[in-house]
Chains A and B, each alone.
Chain A
């Protein structure tokens, strides 16, 4: 019958070691793009279906105006996006042109993965001079901002009205904001919740720090705040967690990658103002409104305009000229502005902004950014190397907090341990 012990041993041991280790090998380089005429450049972005639709239109427009260049598009959601880029960078095959986030600009820029856009022809005459430095590191331009965004509280006026609650005016303290969320939760009857836990949003934490005149990171790449600051922050919603004021983490997980607000599960959400188009498309709501974030100091809202996204090119692209032309087109062309409206944020280039007609909800976003103008402070520099990882762990630990798996003190300890480890690792 069966007495091939040696055979078994070989098969078992061989499979065990080979399969485990093969998983950790480096993937083969996958440089794409053909040399034939017209040249093909790869472009990748993150976002939902709505953005994909708009981007495809913009690409088609670019191709019709530039018959010598073909653009191959590809997109994914935000979390998976950075894992893919890391894999590609390791294999030397980053796409030619990429939509980029401020959080990851240092990671790739300082490590020579991105093209210095100062060496190619991109017109930045129509940009606010104060905005361009956010795409620059040590005098080199790695990213061109497509647009600006600012933090805001979204709400759905129809839902708030149906609960018989007065619409907020955005002139509120954290206590007042919490009261509002609690009221929505109480009257929402299990069908509608106040919001997701806003203390789980890194940038809101950053804004709160600025409201208290604390910088998140020091100039030499260290943390500018203490563990106590972090505990204070996470304690803000201590009494709201586990109540209908905050949608449960179970629910949020189930809905992912869609947001609870986009799924009509919450009445408000605290996030960037350029999510308007995405939320409208996801939720099917007739109208969504924007008001400023809460602050305990009415004169200091801690708000700033951030490049909502940047356009970057791979340092290894074979088609620098084509890549530059595509970036120039995406950030400056008025027709691209017409396609995206405010879904990427308010266009950063004046040429594009003036060439775009903003109506309805898009006008709300533009008006919102105008309304907070007097509160705006300088945008933060590109955050420290590894910031993307810190932002991810901030979100993860906040989620553990809402699952009740960890106390506020434990959460702050856990995050600080990871942050200090990471800063040590990258110094």
Chain B
């Protein structure tokens, strides 16, 4: 997409180009592309190709069996009259809006705890990272379903404290908290990135602040947060995009139906049901493209607003 900055700089410095050098560069490039070839072929065949065909299909009525019929923008316009579609948007947005910040807060909190020099930190780091290794898997979704079911450990545990919610899995107003807990529990990946970021904050900043009498809260907001802001930004962006794409756990917990009462009908799950249950592949493709566009716009907004709160060390600010 964007050219690597180092490449740009090299080509700028080598003007005027000498014939021999350019030949040399050509050979380099050839070698480079040769090494790149397996990836490039895969990218074109498995990503770019399907993307283009799905763009085409999104303008058609395609039932998987008969040849696609061109219907223009119909799929896109009918989307907004489809109550199930609007429901899936609502479910997904609330998941992104509540789940992502909570997950990042958990990741940052744990990362800060693990950043201090203490015995056995290596063990704790692995232990806290483990859930995210297995978290996306089918088995964990099944475990989750059992844990939050009728008379499951969560129900029993809460009953002990006098809170009788019953099973969460069958209760339309409790499935969203359950799904959010599942994602928060998988904080490992952003945690590791936070940890790496925290390690790069020079210790003398904290020392200087301590000398000036700053407390831990002050240090967090005036040193940790701004110094870590590029990492926070990166994690926020990645986790937001990731959250929009939630599928597997919702599919398994709701038996692939998005129930109870549509409370786990996530965008991608509805997309899947439209495509593979209802044979409306054109409609599903339109949904996919709409998601790409929306996620793209959100990404852009993030980048625009980031100028006001993300600080890079090279910047004058």
Q: Judging by beta carbons under 8 Å apart, are B47 and A414 in contact?
A: no
Q: How far is the CA of A358 from the CA of B140 in the complex (A)?
A: 43
Question: Interface-forming stretch among A66-74, A78-86, A158-166?
Answer: A78-86
Whole-angstrom distance between the alpha carbons of A310 and B259 in the complex? 29
Instruction: Give the complex CA separation of A86 and B278 in angstroms.
Output: 9
- Is B238 in contact with chain A by the CB < 8 A criterion? yes
Interface residues on A, range: 35 or more
**Is A101's beta carbon under 8 Å from chain B?**
no
Give 1 or 0 for each of A111-151: 1 = CB within 8 Å of chain B CB: 11100000000000000000000000000000000000000
- B2 interface residue (CB < 8 Å to A): yes
Contact, CB under 8 Å: B54 / A20: no
A21 in complex: contacting residue of B1, B54, B233, CB < 8 Å: B54
Q: Type the 1/0 row for B241-263, where 1 means its CB is closer than 8 Å to any CB of A.
A: 10011010000000111011110
User: Do the beta carbons of A17 and B292 come within 8 Å of each other?
Assistant: yes
Give the residues in chain A near B279, CB-CB below 8 Å: 86, 107, 386, 389
Taking the complex as formed, is A189 at the interface, i.e. its CB lies under 8 A from any CB of chain B? no
Give the docked Cα–Cα distance between A14 and B296 (Å): 10
A2 to B245, CA, bound (A): 28
Cβ–Cβ contact B241 & A16, under 8 A: yes
Mark interface residues in B158-191 (1 if CB within 8 Å of A CB, else 0). 0000000011011110000000000000000000
A90 touches B241 (CB 8 A): no
Q: In this assembly, does B68 line the interface, its C-beta being within 8 Å of a C-beta of chain A? A: no
Indicate with 1 or 0, residue by residue over B42-56, a CB within 8 angstroms of chain A CB atoms: 000011011101100
Stretch at the interface among A217-225, A227-235, A244-252, A361-369: A244-252
Pick from A21, A77, A425 the residue with the most CB of B within 10 Å.
Answer: A21
B98 sits at the interface (CB 8 A) = no
Number of interface residues of B (CB under 8 A): 70
Query: Is A5 an interface residue, CB under 8 A from the partner?
Result: yes
Among B137-154, those with CB < 8 Å from A are 149-150
Contact of B92 with A by CB under 8 A: no
Contact B47 A24 (CB under 8 A): no
Choose, from A180-188, A340-348, A392-400, the stretch at the interface.
A392-400
Q: Which residues from chain A contact B54 at a C-beta distance below 8 Å?
A: 21, 24-25
Q: Report the nearest A residue to B277, measured CB to CB.
A: A83
Asked if residues B255 and A403 are in contact (CB atoms below 8 Å), the reply is no
| Interface flags, B71-86, vs A, CB<8A=1, else 0 | 0000000000001000
Residues of A within 8 A of B244 (CB): 20
Q: Is the interface of A mostly helix, strand, loop or mixed?
A: helix
Could you mark each residue 14-46 of chain B with 1 if its beta carbon is under 8 Å from any beta carbon of chain A, else 0? 000000000000000000000000000000001
- Given known A-B contacts A16-B295, A17-B296, A253-B259, A86 and B276 have beta carbons under 8 A apart: yes
Q: Which are the 5 A-B pairs with shortest beta-carbon distances? A: A25-B50, A111-B65, A253-B170, A250-B170, A1-B313
B interface residues, Cβ below 8 angstroms from A: 1-2, 4-5, 46-47, 49-51, 53-54, 61, 63-66, 83, 149-150, 166-167, 169-172, 197, 200, 227, 230-231, 233-234, 237-238, 241, 244-245, 247, 255-257, 259-262, 268, 271-273, 275-281, 284-285, 288-289, 291-292, 295-296, 299, 303, 312-315
Q: Which residues of A contact B (CB under 8 A)?
A: 1-3, 5-6, 8-10, 12-26, 77, 79-80, 82-83, 86-87, 89-90, 107-108, 111-113, 248-254, 256-257, 386, 388-389, 392, 396, 399-400, 403, 405, 414, 422, 425-426
With A22-B50, A250-B167 given, can you name 12 additional A-B contacts, CB distance below 8 Å?
A12-B241, A15-B238, A16-B292, A16-B296, A16-B299, A21-B51, A252-B170, A257-B255, A389-B279, A399-B261, A403-B260, A426-B63
